[in-house]
Structure formats: C-alpha cells, structure tokens
C-alpha cells in the first residue's frame, strides 16, 4: 500500500455517472474533525457533482489505520498528508476540512506549496476559527471524562458511540491525540496567503466560528466567500443536500484570470 492509499479513502462516483471514458475535472479531499473518520462523509457522493473525484482522509489510529501510531503534532500531520497528496493525480486539488480538519487543511495546503511545489486549487474550511484565533486549551491533559464531556457538548457524530464503554475505550486514544494536536497548534508565523480561492462555512448557532469567520479571508489571495447554514458546530450532518452542491459549484466554477 502506497502513502496515498494509506491516507485516503476513495468514495464511489455519484449516482449520475460520468460519460464513459470521461475523466474528473477536479479532486476534492475531505479532512474530518477531531476523532472523526472518512465515514463522516459517506453521504456526500449522492450530492456531489460527478465531475469531482472525492476522497476523505483517514488519520492514523482509527478505522483501517487503527494499529498505526497516532500523531499529536499539527505540522507533522500536515507534512505527512501533503506528501501523500503530492504523489496523486494532477487534477486541480481542493481541500475541505471541518473543525480540526479545517486547520489541518490549511497547514496541509501550506506544506504542499512550500515543501512539494503543488499549490492547491482551493481551500474550503468549515466550523473553525482561523489559525491565529485557535485557543490554548488543556483538555487533552485531563481525564477521559473531560474529553467525553467536550465531545458531547459539541454534538459530534460519535457522541452516541461514547455511551458504550467498549466503544469509548476504542475511540478515546484517537480523540485524545487529536485534542493534543489542535490544542497545541500555533500557525506558521509570516506565512503568505494561499494563492487560491477560499470559502469559509459555518453553522449559524456555532458562536465561535460565527464570531471569527470573516478573518479567514486573510488566508486566501483568490476570491473569498463566507457562507452560513442553519445549525450548530456539526451543522453539516444535516446540511449536506445544500452544502455539497454549493461546494461543487465553487470547485467547478471557472477561475478568473
């Protein structure tokens, strides 16, 4: 298994298939939230334009990579993911990240540009404050109950599984690693804005994301946009029928010269 196969979980084409022999026009890679996995995006192919190739990142320590050592440093994770993405196709690459995945998507885009000479075609961030607003917290240093309480408070898709003691023991090491990764993250000082369009999405009831979302505009030098959807931090669990087609249009729209 090569690095791309290890990191990326591909999804089947949407029900409206591309014509025989046609190739995708763009590539979308989705980065899950803390403790999340590729299955979080399993419904997206139903709503995504078939001209877009879709895959999601599988972080070490979960799903098919359960035996792999977890990563607790943002730049280490970004470097390894960028290395896997740099070996892929030459299709225009768009990154979508939610919550922790949004900050990781940004750092991965930087690593692709600075280390591999492969700039992204666009960055799509969701449910996250911009990098310079990321707060220092210490939940990852506390007991399991502190992590579980924070997850339940946010309404993560994995909340129901944490009620089962066996699943909780299975999931918590990955959650703790991700909490350490995001809570110790500091953005690269002086990094130039990405030469790519940037869209920031958020749920209208997500107070932190809503407060600072406009400041994401400073991280892209192409066209930028801020888009809201009804819901809380995990608004996209219900918003996929609206969110994903909108992302499709942005990905496939001609870029101004």
d(CA 211, CA 230): 15
Q: Is 89 a catalytic residue?
A: no
- 30, two tokens: 């989705």
Residue of 55, 98, 233, 248 marked active site: 233
Q: Is 47 a catalytic residue?
A: no
Residue of 37, 55, 99, 248 marked active site: 99
Coil/strand/helix, residue 65:
helix
Of 177, 167, 150, 146, nearest to 59 (Cα)? Answer: 177
Sequence-distant (≥ 6) Cβ neighbours of residue 123 within 8 angstroms: 94, 95, 105, 106, 109, 194, 196, 197, 198, 199, 219, 220
- 171, two tokens: 């999931």
Q: Which residues are catalytic?
A: 99, 233
């Amino acid at each position: 298994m090569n690095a791309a196969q290890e990191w990326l979980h591909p999804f089947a084409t949407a029900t409206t298939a591309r014509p025989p022999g046609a190739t995708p026009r763009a590539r979308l890679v989705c980065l899950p939230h803390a403790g999340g996995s590729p299955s979080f995006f399993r419904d997206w192919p139903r709503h995504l334009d078939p001209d877009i190739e879709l895959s999601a990142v599988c972080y070490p320590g979960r799903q098919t990579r359960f035996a792999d050592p977890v990563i607790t440093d943002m730049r280490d994770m970004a470097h390894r993911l960028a290395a896997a993405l740099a070996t892929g196709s030459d299709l225009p690459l768009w990154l979508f990240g939610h919550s922790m995945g949004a900050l990781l998507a940004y750092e991965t885009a930087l690593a692709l540009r600075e280390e591999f000479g492969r700039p992204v075609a666009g960055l799509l961030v969701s449910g996250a404050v911009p990098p310079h607003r990321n707060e220092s917290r210490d939940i990852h240093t506390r007991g399991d109950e502190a992590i579980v309480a924070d997850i339940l408070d946010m309404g993560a898709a994995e909340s129901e599984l944490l009620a089962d003691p066996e699943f909780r023991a299975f999931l918590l090491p990955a959650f703790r690693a991700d909490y350490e990764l995001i809570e110790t993250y500091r953005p690269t000082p002086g990094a130039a804005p990405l030469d790519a369009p940037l869209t920031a999405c958020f749920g209208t009831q997500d107070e932190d994301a809503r407060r600072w979302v406009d400041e994401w505009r400073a991280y892209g030098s192409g066209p930028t946009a801020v888009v809201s959807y009804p819901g809380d931090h995990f608004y996209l669990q219900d918003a996929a029928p609206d969110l994903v087609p909108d992302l499709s249009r942005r990905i496939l729209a001609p870029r101004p010269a």
